[in-house]
Homo-oligomer: A and B are copies of this chain.
Amino acid sequence: MENFTYTIPTTIYFGKGQVKQIGDIVSQYGKRVLLVYGGGSIKRNGIYDDVTAIFKENGITYFELAGVEPNPRITTVRKGVEICRKENIEVVLPIGGGSTIDCAKVIAAATSYSGDAWDIVLDPSKVVSVLPIVSILTLAATGSEMDTFAVISDMDSNDKIGTSHEDMRPKASILDPTYTFSVPAYQTAAGTADIMSHIMECYFSNVQGYMQDRMAEGLLKTCIEFGVKAIAKPDDYEARANLMWASSWAINNFIKLGKAVEWSVHPMEHQLSAYYDITHGVGLAILTPHWMEHVLNDNTVEKFKEFGVNVWDLSKDEDAYTIAHQAIQKTREYFVAMGIPTTLREVGIVDDRYFDVMAEKACAGLEAAFVPLTKEDVKAIYQKAL
């Protein structure tokens, strides 16, 4: 196990009805709030009304940034920064999924920065200070509610960039599983695939952590148990609650600290989303089994065997390669069982015209991955997934 510093100070208010505490939570940090959200769903399902009513009772003044995109744009971040500066915002409060929270994080970090917000996305060491962030989560997927990361897109340059700063971690997040009852089946599947991918990115690594990997397996089992259940019965509270809590722990650093982890599939998928604006979790689910087959070799087969035995309950008495291939097939089948397509064609990527430039961008950083990947490796994986 490698040395590390562990700090996850986010307070989580978990469970049905926890929104009633939002007035007290926000008031710890200020009385002038920027609400950040996407489309109109939070108005249809009543969250918006609940929150703003509590704000009025508590003398909290709020401003609004609506229309955050599924892959949030830097142009939207800039609009938020403008409001924060003009209205002397003290707390940024995203209500939504990871995209909305990611957008809010960069708004909160860029408000005190004198240059353009994109500078901070490219180089988070430029962050001066970050406004307190309190999130209300409505989708179990990215884990943004308890982590330091944000992914922002610049559609002009087809760049989709991940950034991270410790102070961008929300001070508090409300996780009410009932808020995810209305998430459609396809988005539930994509979110679950995203959670599973976050876990697998840490699990398949070169410096191992025994305890960390047992935790990762437990989180994967949780996703596998409840992903299909939440799709079959959208108001299954236990399913929604377990997926929501697993989403936070998949990526808040817990299963990574002490290991040496470099993600593989996310960098490849980010290029798909950047060039084609496809659903992130679906892209991950399509690429993952192909990536697994590509990196399966004599050095990695024991790890895939462990994955098969401990996550997919395969018999440990078989040959290691047999177990590894079965485990990859189980992974593929699970994504299919959730209704996710298996090819890029099915999500509208019908030819390989951008594969060269996408592979070029994706492979930067992949030389230190679980299995190092060159531009040719990445391109081959894209081709197989086509």
Task: Report which A residues bind B (CB closer than 8 A).
Answer: 1-9, 11-18, 177, 209-211, 214-215, 217-219, 221-222, 225-226, 237-238, 241-242, 245-246, 249, 257-258
Contact = CB atoms under 8 A, between A and B. Distances in A.
Contacts of A242: 1, 209-211
Interface centre among A18, A226, A241, by most chain B C-beta atoms within 10 angstroms, is A241
Given A210-B222, A225-B210, A245-B211, A17 B3 contact: yes
Contacts of A219: 211, 214
Nearest to A9: B9
Given A1-B15, A9-B9, A211-B249, 11 more contacts: A1-B14, A3-B17, A4-B12, A5-B14, A6-B11, A6-B14, A7-B11, A14-B258, A210-B226, A211-B222, A214-B221
B5 A13 contact: yes
Contacts of A245: 1, 211, 258
Contacts of A3: 14-18
Q: Which 3 A-B pairs have the closest CB atoms?
A: A3-B15, A214-B218, A6-B12
A4 B241 CA distance: 12
Nearest to A177: B1
Interface centre among A15, A16, A17, A225, by most chain B C-beta atoms within 10 angstroms, is A15
A146 to B, nearest CB: 9
Contact of A257 (B2, B6, B14, B226): B14
6 contacts: A4-B14, A7-B9, A211-B222, A211-B249, A214-B219, A217-B218
Nearest to A211: B222
Contact of A222 (B214, B237, B257): B214
Contact of A238 (B12, B210, B215): B210
Contacts of A215: 215, 218
